[in-house]
């Protein structure tokens, strides 16, 4: 076991405060938004890590790490919608193989959790990487200005702990293009 009290904060030299800064959202917002009957009828697959819902899409659980003052990190279990069927197949095959095939797997999706206190990150494209064998993918990057700030700025613990109630949102509008994918033309001409 790690000795928590031995860890001192690099900003102030004080022992790091105890307490876990980890929360999980049980299911993607657009899935929670459905009424129970509708959800039951449309669920093609459901587990703690994956939802596949007819007419809504495929969702995978990822960790959103948030830097917190005094050298801490809050982690939120949130959900990504992966709209591209081929990408979804690739992710699932890597997950099924596990081990070194899963470790390092990188993919992109749209955040399907209106996470407080930054609910407008909902819908933002973001990139996830699997940090090691049998681990949950972690968000590492976003072009979305707000989500990029959430991932990289150091936030007050008070703001995280008093963030307000989660209000689920439906996915609205059509699919938006993945900003990480270069066009077919640039892929062909670039290699
Ligand atoms: Zn400190």
**Domain assignment present for 174:** no
**Domain assignment present for 10:** no
Q: Is the pLDDT of residue 92 over 90?
A: yes
d(C-alpha 161, C-alpha 101), whole Å: 36
Between the CA of 68 and the centroid of ligand 1 the distance, in Å, is: 10
**Domain assignment present for 184:** no
**Domain assignment present for 56:** yes
Q: Which residues touch 121 (CB under 8 Å, ≥6 apart)?
A: 111, 113, 114, 115, 144, 146, 147, 150
**Domain assignment present for 2:** no
**Domain assignment present for 70:** yes
Q: Please give the tally of structural domains in the chain.
A: 1
Between the CA of 16 and the centroid of ligand 1 the distance, in Å, is: 7
b/e for 99-129, b at 16 or more Cβ within 10 A? eeebeebebbbbbbbbbbebbebbbbbbbbb
**Domain assignment present for 156:** yes
Nearest to 113 by CA among 102, 128, 124: 124
Between the CA of 162 and the centroid of ligand 1 the distance, in Å, is: 20
Between the CA of 72 and the centroid of ligand 1 the distance, in Å, is: 9
Q: Which domain holds residue 89?
A: 17-165
Between the CA of 20 and the centroid of ligand 1 the distance, in Å, is: 16
Q: Is the pLDDT of residue 189 over 80?
A: no
Q: Is the pLDDT of residue 7 over 90?
A: no
Average pLDDT, the chain: 90
Q: What is the pLDDT of residue 4?
A: 46
**Domain assignment present for 29:** yes
């Amino acid at each position: 076991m790690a000795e928590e009290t031995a860890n001192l904060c690099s900003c102030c030299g004080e022992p790091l405060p105890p307490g876990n800064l980890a929360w999980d959202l049980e299911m993607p917002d657009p899935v929670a938004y459905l009424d129970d009957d509708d959800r039951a009828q449309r669920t093609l697959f459901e587990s703690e890590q994956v939802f596949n819902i007819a007419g809504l899409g495929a969702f995978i659980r990822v960790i959103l790490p948030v830097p917190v003052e005094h050298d801490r990190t809050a982690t939120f279990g949130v959900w990504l919608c992966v709209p591209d069927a081929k990408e979804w197949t690739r992710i699932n095959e890597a997950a099924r193989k596990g081990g070194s095939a899963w470790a390092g797997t990188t993919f992109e999706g749209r955040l399907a959790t209106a996470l407080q206190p930054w609910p407008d990150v909902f819908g933002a494209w973001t990139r996830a990487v699997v940090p090691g064998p049998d681990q949950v993918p972690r968000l590492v990057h976003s072009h979305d200005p707000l989500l990029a700030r959430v991932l990289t700025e150091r936030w007050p613990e008070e703001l995280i702990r008093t963030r307000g109630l989660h209000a689920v949102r439906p996915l609205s509008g059509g699919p938006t293009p993945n900003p990480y994918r270069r066009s077919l033309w640039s892929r062909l001409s670039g290699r």
